Amino acid sequence: MKALWLGKALTVVFWWVVLVNLLIPADKPLHALINLAGATLLGLHMLEMLMFNGRLRGR
Protein backbone atom coordinates (compact mmCIF):
# COMPACT_ATOMS: atom_id res chain seq x y z
CA MET A 1 0.00 0.00 0.00
CA LYS A 2 2.88 2.38 0.73
CA ALA A 3 4.35 1.69 -2.72
CA LEU A 4 1.08 2.80 -4.30
CA TRP A 5 1.11 5.98 -2.21
CA LEU A 6 4.72 6.64 -3.19
CA GLY A 7 3.90 6.21 -6.89
CA LYS A 8 1.00 8.66 -6.66
CA ALA A 9 3.14 11.18 -4.79
CA LEU A 10 5.94 10.94 -7.37
CA THR A 11 3.43 11.39 -10.19
CA VAL A 12 2.04 14.54 -8.59
CA VAL A 13 5.56 15.89 -8.02
CA PHE A 14 6.54 15.17 -11.64
CA TRP A 15 3.55 17.01 -13.11
CA TRP A 16 4.00 19.85 -10.62
CA VAL A 17 7.61 20.27 -11.79
CA VAL A 18 6.50 20.27 -15.44
CA LEU A 19 3.80 22.90 -14.81
CA VAL A 20 6.08 25.11 -12.72
CA ASN A 21 8.73 24.82 -15.44
CA LEU A 22 6.24 26.21 -17.95
CA LEU A 23 5.61 29.24 -15.74
CA ILE A 24 9.15 29.74 -14.41
CA PRO A 25 11.66 28.19 -16.83
CA ALA A 26 14.62 26.40 -15.30
CA ASP A 27 18.18 26.87 -16.54
CA LYS A 28 18.84 26.21 -20.24
CA PRO A 29 19.59 22.48 -20.40
CA LEU A 30 17.04 21.46 -17.76
CA HIS A 31 14.22 23.58 -19.18
CA ALA A 32 14.19 21.71 -22.48
CA LEU A 33 14.61 18.30 -20.86
CA ILE A 34 11.75 18.82 -18.41
CA ASN A 35 9.47 20.03 -21.20
CA LEU A 36 10.51 17.09 -23.38
CA ALA A 37 9.81 14.59 -20.58
CA GLY A 38 6.40 16.10 -19.90
CA ALA A 39 5.44 16.26 -23.58
CA THR A 40 6.62 12.70 -24.17
CA LEU A 41 4.65 11.32 -21.24
CA LEU A 42 1.56 13.30 -22.23
CA GLY A 43 1.88 12.07 -25.82
CA LEU A 44 2.24 8.47 -24.70
CA HIS A 45 -0.87 8.76 -22.53
CA MET A 46 -2.83 10.25 -25.44
CA LEU A 47 -1.67 7.44 -27.72
CA GLU A 48 -2.62 4.91 -25.05
CA MET A 49 -6.11 6.41 -24.82
CA LEU A 50 -6.56 6.29 -28.59
CA MET A 51 -5.38 2.70 -28.83
CA PHE A 52 -7.04 1.13 -25.79
CA ASN A 53 -10.05 3.30 -24.96
CA GLY A 54 -12.47 1.18 -26.98
CA ARG A 55 -11.19 -2.01 -25.43
CA LEU A 56 -11.50 -0.64 -21.90
CA ARG A 57 -14.93 0.89 -22.51
CA GLY A 58 -16.40 -2.58 -23.21
CA ARG A 59 -15.56 -3.86 -19.74
Distance CA 52, CA 8 (A): 22
Delimit the domains of the chain by residue range. Answer: 2-57
pTM of the entire structure? Answer: 0.78
DSSP 24: S
- CB–CB of 30/18 below 8 Å? no
| Amino acid sitting at position 46 | M
> In the chain, what are the helix, strand and coil shares in percent, each to the nearest 5?
90, 0, 10
- Predicted confidence (pLDDT) at residue 42 exceeds the cutoff of 80: yes
Cα–Cα distance measured from residue 47 to residue 25, given in angstroms and rounded to the nearest whole number: 27
pLDDT for residue 3: 81
The pLDDT value given to residue 54: 79
